[in-house]
Amino acid sequence: MELKLNRPLVFFDLETTGVNVATDRIVEVSFLKVMPNGEETVYTKKINPERPIPAESTFFHGIRDEDIKDAPTFKTIAVELATFIGDADLAGYNSNKFDVPMLMEEFLRAGVDFSLEGRAFVDVQNIFHQMEQRTLKAAYKFYCDENLENAHTAEADVRATYEVLKAQLTKYEGAAFEDRHGVVSYPVVNDVAALHEFTNLSKPVDFAGRIVYNEDGLETINFGKHKGKPIVEVFEQEPSYYAWMQNGDFPLYTKKVLENIWIKYKKEKSEQKAKAASNHSVEDKKTAKKEFNQQKEETAQSISLDMLKELQDKFKK
């Protein structure tokens, strides 16, 4: 089944020096851009992470220090890469938890303003894990009935991810899914927005999962002593928590998201304070006016009584 697209969809995969989004670096990128008319464009490039690649990572993806010693750094290709992606939606395998936040870290380090606003994110792994619970290699065999050659090379993995998604759409067309609350739906449909909704399981705000949306749609802390609390509530109880996170070992994109929430919070607090002051001022004016009218009335009554007394005294004479 071919994808129905209203705008481009970019499948991508990253090979890295490790799995720590905040401290590791990308050593290879591969992007497969699929246009609404079905046209496909591939962008694959090795990247110099400007640090040694650990042996365990080389064992996983096969990229050694000598393979990338003459490769460009991410910063030198960042603008080119952002231009290639354009305003496309993003798709990948485990991309919401790893590839998207890792990519954002590199863009932020490079000083390139790459926005995630308004994009849909389709994580093929989440469709697979919810429907079948297996790995990419098994998924490719299960859905496409083929063996995945050159697994863990970026281009082979990203191509397999693309083929798996198309096969999933065919296999699960009209298939029912029952969630943990017993609600039955038919979520695997040929629509990127619907797949975005189905595959974003934890409703992350920052993609790294430190901040998520709760059932009421509020940004909520998802770790540590404040886990489960709305961020605004944490700011009210412990204002220093914002500074602690900004100075801590958190991904740059998490800090950027947190900063946006903080700015919005401070703005709303300022507006509330101004409104309260304005209401207080109005009440003060009403009170002052009431007191003035009361004094005026009392003065008028006093003058009237004095005048009446003078008249009485005058006519008595």
Predicted pLDDT of residue 317: 47
CB 73 within 8 A of CB 51: no
Q: What is the pLDDT of residues 90-137, one digit of tens each?
A: 999 999 999 999 999 999 999 999 999 999 999 999 998 888 767 898
Residues 6 or more apart in contact with residue 223 via CB below 8 angstroms = 210
Instruction: Give the whole-angstrom CA distance, residue 175 versus residue 168.
Output: 11
Instruction: Give the whole-angstrom CA distance, residue 127 versus residue 92.
Output: 11
3 state SS for 241-255: HHHHHHHCCCCHHHH
Instruction: Give the whole-angstrom CA distance, residue 173 versus residue 170.
Output: 5
CB 68 within 8 A of CB 46: yes
Predicted pLDDT of residue 302: 56
The C-alpha angle 243, 244, 245, rounded to 5 degrees, equals: 90
Burial status of residue 245 (CB atoms within 10 A of its CB: 0-12, 13-18, 19 or more): buried
DSSP state of 72: P
Predicted pLDDT of residue 246: 94
pTM score, whole prediction? 0.68
Predicted pLDDT of residue 195: 95
> Among residues 20, 8, 9, 26, which one has the least CA distance to residue 77?
26
Q: Which residue is listed with tokens 């699929």? A: 34
Sorted by where each starts, the structural domains of the chain and their CATH numbers stand as 9-201 (3.30.420.10), 205-317 (no CATH)
Instruction: Give the whole-angstrom CA distance, residue 57 versus residue 264.
Output: 40
Backbone CA torsion sign across 159, 89, 232, 180: negative
Low-confidence ranges of the chain (pLDDT < 50): 317
Predicted pLDDT of residue 278: 75
